[in-house]
């Protein structure tokens, strides 16, 4: 089991993602998977501010929409090449995220959540009502597919799958770097308690804003991918229920774990697909499942697994000490753990 947490585990996951299209060969499955990856990227970002830093942000879908609309408006109304618009999606989202985050993060706990819920809803309203810029409820139609990069073209579901998969890998890689570093420890210290973190010399305002900013960048670029993949945008993308969907992905997979949002996003997306025939009634099924999950598996799937592993190695450590022999392998194993 320990090997699954090391390099081999990553290689395994990567190969599964790489080989998935061979296993299905079905465009519908590819589309479901690609959409799930896009939401996973956004959820991985959300997890940084909510899961690792402990600030429950409910404006995330709004920022995803800002990224998506940046690409949509620039490519459709201003004929900007796709990749330039895509590159700009991050900075534009950040330009909104920094002031909004700065104001919201002055609040703590539930007040922050309620405030960001309102921020998200205002972003939705602005997108819906500002017809001159966003085309309002009509939405943006005819967004070009990502333009070819050298010999690679992105006009088939298969090529788009690999494009999004590549971004997902980059997103996870970057996030892994962050959360395993001193910076990640700083964020987690803030989650453990504002007061203690501050007493340890952590600059709360700055570091919270940094987590918020990185989180929002993930949302922005996930939105930009969404625009290039779905090629139609409506204000619905900014709707609060998307934020709650992403929150659900985090909860199912495990809040504050690296792979939790990805697994959550994949699992929930596929369950949703299979419950398609139930239409609106599927929420009658989803609601209770979520409640049971929060009660009985509060750490999520990945979280519960990691908690069990931590406890196990903790027990081995105490036994090793009792036997007066310190096993260095154990320590290395826990160092490598994510």
Residue 325 in contact with other proteins, rule: CB under 8 A: no
Applying CB under 8 A, which of residues 106, 108, 129, 331 lies at the interface with other proteins? 331
**Separation of alpha carbons 54 and 59, rounded Å:** 15
Applying CB under 8 A, which of residues 32, 114, 169, 183 lies at the interface with other proteins? 183
Binding segment for other proteins (CB under 8 A), chosen from 117-125, 235-243, 289-297, 308-316, is: 308-316
Cβ–Cβ < 8 Å for 216, 93: yes
Binding segment for other proteins (CB under 8 A), chosen from 32-40, 126-134, 176-184, 272-280, is: 176-184
DSSP H helical segments within the chain, as ranges?
A: 7-24, 27-47, 60-78, 82-104, 109-129, 131-134, 157-179, 182-192, 194-199, 204-230, 240-253, 260-274, 282-296, 300-322, 328-336
Dihedral class, residue 140 (left if φ above 0, else alpha if ψ from -120 to 50, else beta) = beta
Residue 3 in contact with other proteins, rule: CB under 8 A: no
**Separation of alpha carbons 254 and 174, rounded Å:** 19
Residue 129 in contact with other proteins, rule: CB under 8 A: no
Residue 31 in contact with other proteins, rule: CB under 8 A: no
Pick from 70, 75, 19, 64: nearest CA to 41: 64
Residue 201 in contact with other proteins, rule: CB under 8 A: yes
Residue 319 in contact with other proteins, rule: CB under 8 A: no
Residue 99 in contact with other proteins, rule: CB under 8 A: no
Burial of 251 (0-12, 13-18, 19+ CB in 10 A): buried
Nearest distance from residue 203's CB to other proteins, in Å? Answer: 5
Binding segment for other proteins (CB under 8 A), chosen from 27-35, 88-96, 181-189, 234-242, is: 181-189
User: Considering beta carbons, is residue 57 or 186 the nearer one to other proteins?
Assistant: 186
Residue 297 in contact with other proteins, rule: CB under 8 A: no
Q: How many CB atoms lie within 10 A of CB 296?
A: 8
Cβ–Cβ < 8 Å for 229, 82: no
**Separation of alpha carbons 184 and 209, rounded Å:** 13
DSSP-based three-state secondary structure for 152: strand
User: Considering beta carbons, is residue 123 or 301 the nearer one to other proteins?
Assistant: 301
Nearest distance from residue 190's CB to other proteins, in Å? Answer: 10
Nearest distance from residue 31's CB to other proteins, in Å? Answer: 32
**Separation of alpha carbons 280 and 102, rounded Å:** 37
Residue 153 in contact with other proteins, rule: CB under 8 A: no
Binding segment for other proteins (CB under 8 A), chosen from 112-120, 130-138, 183-191, 276-284, is: 183-191
Tell me which residues touch other proteins (CB under 8 A): 174, 177-178, 181-183, 185-186, 188-189, 191-193, 195-196, 198-204, 210, 214, 299, 306-307, 310-311, 313-314, 317-318, 320-321, 330-331, 334
């Amino acid at each position: 089991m320990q090997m699954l947490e090391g390099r081999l585990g990553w290689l395994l996951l990567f190969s599964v993602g790489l080989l998935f299209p061979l296993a299905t060969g079905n465009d519908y499955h590819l589309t479901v998977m690609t959409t799930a990856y896009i939401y996973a990227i956004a959820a991985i970002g959300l997890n940084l501010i909510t899961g690792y830093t402990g600030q429950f942000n409910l404006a995330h879908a709004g920022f995803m929409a800002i990224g998506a609309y940046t690409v949509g408006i620039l490519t459709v109304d201003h004929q900007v090449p796709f990749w330039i618009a895509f590159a700009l999606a991050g900075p534009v989202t950040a330009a909104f995220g920094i002031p909004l985050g700065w104001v919201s993060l002055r609040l703590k706990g539930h007040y922050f959540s309620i405030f960001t819920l309102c921020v998200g809803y205002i972003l939705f309203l602005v997108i819906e009502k500002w017809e001159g810029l966003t085309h309002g409820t009509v939405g943006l139609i005819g967004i070009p597919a990502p333009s070819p990069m050298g010999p690679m073209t992105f006009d088939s579901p298969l090529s788009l799958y690999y494009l999004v998969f590549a971004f997902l890998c980059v997103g996870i890689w970057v996030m892994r770097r962050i959360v395993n570093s001193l910076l990640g420890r700083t964020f987690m210290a803030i989650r453990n308690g504002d007061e203690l973190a501050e007493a340890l010399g952590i600059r709360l305002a700055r570091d919270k804003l940094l987590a918020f900013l990185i989180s929002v960048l993930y949302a922005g670029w996930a939105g930009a991918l969404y625009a290039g993949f779905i090629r139609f945008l409506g204000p619905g993308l900014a709707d609060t229920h998307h934020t709650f969907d992403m929150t659900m992905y985090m909860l199912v997979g495990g809040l504050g774990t690296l792979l939790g949002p990805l697994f959550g996003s994949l699992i929930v997306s596929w369950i949703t697909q299979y419950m398609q025939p139930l239409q609106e009634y599927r929420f009658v099924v989803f609601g209770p499942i979520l409640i049971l999950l929060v009660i009985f598996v509060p750490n999520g799937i990945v979280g519960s697994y990691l908690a069990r592993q931590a406890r196990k190695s903790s027990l081995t450590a105490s036994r090793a000490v009792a036997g007066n022999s310190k096993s260095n392998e154990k320590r290395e194993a826990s160092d490598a753990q994510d």
